[in-house]
Structure 1
Amino acid sequence: MNHWIDLFIEQIKETTWPQWLAVALGVTEVLLARVNNIWLYPAGILGTAISIYLLMDVHLYAESLLNGYYIVMSVYGWIYWIKKRNEPPVKITYSTKNEWMISIAISVIGWVVFYFLIKNLPAKYFTPSNVPVWDALVSSTAWAGMWLLARRKMENWIFLNISNFFAVPLLFYKKLPLFAMLTIFLFIIAIWGYFEWKKQVEQERLVVGD
């Protein structure tokens, strides 16, 4: 146990200021999202851009690509928020059988595709990754979770937390301890989000039942 604590302290001491800044912006984004503040988008975009640089530096290519997707979706969300902020939100629902199949397909096919890309492309242009299986898994399950989140489906929290679960040890291994701690924070937030959404669904059913 002491070995792991010492290792964590050593990694914290070696943490660079860009990682501190990226994590601070990530926490800011989550807190702003909690109160529905539009400034969550610029905070998220800047933090994610820094994260891409840091993840590329440690050869986590699939996660870098995933973060690139985050930026695109953040820009889209920012524009969509401005246009639709006065309209009622899409209702939260459970996934249908077809949506479950699509989510699993995104996870499995994405895992294979990301693995293939990581194993073949970086060798020509970048330093090869030594964790292609885990990097691909973290990203593919997150893609599935984001697809479900966009559709306001309860199960998005499940897929996102599968991604978070495997991301934590991967980030510690790559000596990104603050990113790992942020991911643990997001893991907890996702659990909280699941039960918050579940409560909203049950309340909606009661209203419809009345």
Structure 2
Amino acid sequence: METWAHIFLEQVKATSLLEWLAVLLGVAEVLLARANKVALYPTGIAATLISIYLLLNAHLFAESALNVYYVVMSVYGWYHWVKKRNEPPVKVSFATRQEWIITLLISFVGWGLLYILLVKYTPSTVPIMDAWVSSTAWAGMWLLARRKVENWVLLNVSNLFAIPLLFHKHLVMFSVLTLILFIVAIFGYVDWRKIAKGEKA
């Protein structure tokens, strides 16, 4: 226990200012998402751009690619939420059967494709975990952009595996951030479920 605590403290001390900034922006993003505020997107884009740089340095190539995807999906989500001025924003709702099929395809087909790419074209030492964390997060972000309640479930599957992966790669504050995101996502799911049930009623 003392050894783990020592390693954790040493990694906290070694955390760069850029990583701290990315973590703070990431916390702000998830709190805005839980509150159902569209401002989550510009905040998230800023956090993501910093994260891409840091993850590339840590040789987490699939997570870096995931963050590029986050930027694209954030722009798409931002537009999808706001749409045109004279149109109402998209409402929170539950995923349909077709959306679940797409979600599962993104998760499992994406996992396989990313794994192959990591093994063949990168020096990744954690291709299975890196690919799984990224593919499930891809699926979660797709659902988030469409304002589906289940986005929180997929994002938390990704978070659960990302916590030890990031710690292993000495990105300790990213690991702590992911733990915070995991907890907030539980509350986000509960809140969005209430909203969706209200909209349905």
Matches within 5 A, 1:50-61: 50-61=50-61
Larger radius of gyration: 1
Q: CA deviation at 1:37?
A: 5.9
Which residue is 2:139 aligned to? 144
Which residue is 1:133 aligned to? 128
Q: Take 2:136 and 2:83, find their aligned partners in 1: how far apart are those partners?
A: 30
> Could you tell me which of 145, 167, 173 is aligned with 1:172?
167
Which structure 2 segments of 5+ residues have no match?
none
Stretches of 4+ aligned residues off by more than 6 angstroms: none
TM-score (structure 2 length as normaliser)? 0.89
Q: Take 2:112 and 2:154, find their aligned partners in 1: how far apart are those partners?
A: 17
Q: Take 1:64 and 1:90, find their aligned partners in 2: how far apart are those partners?
A: 29
Which residue is 1:36 aligned to? 37
More RCO (CA 8 Å, sep 6+): 2
> Could you tell me which of 187, 191, 195 is aligned with 1:200?
195
The letter for the 1-side match of 2:37 is N
Describe the superposition over 1:143-191 as per-residue Cα deviations: whole angstroms up to 9, x where unpaired. 1111222222222111110000000000000011110111111111211
> Could you tell me which of 131, 148, 153 is aligned with 2:148?
153
Distance 1:159 1:129, change over 3 A: same
- Would you say the 8 A contact 2:82–2:90 is kept in 1? no
Which residue is 2:111 aligned to? 111
Distance 1:42 1:191, change over 3 A: same
Describe the superposition over 1:75-128 as per-residue Cα deviations: whole angstroms up to 9, x where unpaired. 344455665466433233322333222211111100000001111122xxxxx0
What RMSD, in angstroms, separates the aligned Cα atoms of the two structures?
2.1
Q: Take 1:78 and 1:185, find their aligned partners in 2: how far apart are those partners?
A: 23
Distance 1:83 1:91, change over 3 A: closer
Q: Secondary structure at the match of 1:93?
A: coil
Which residue is 1:7 aligned to? 7
Identity of aligned residues (%): 58
The letter for the 2-side match of 1:154 is V
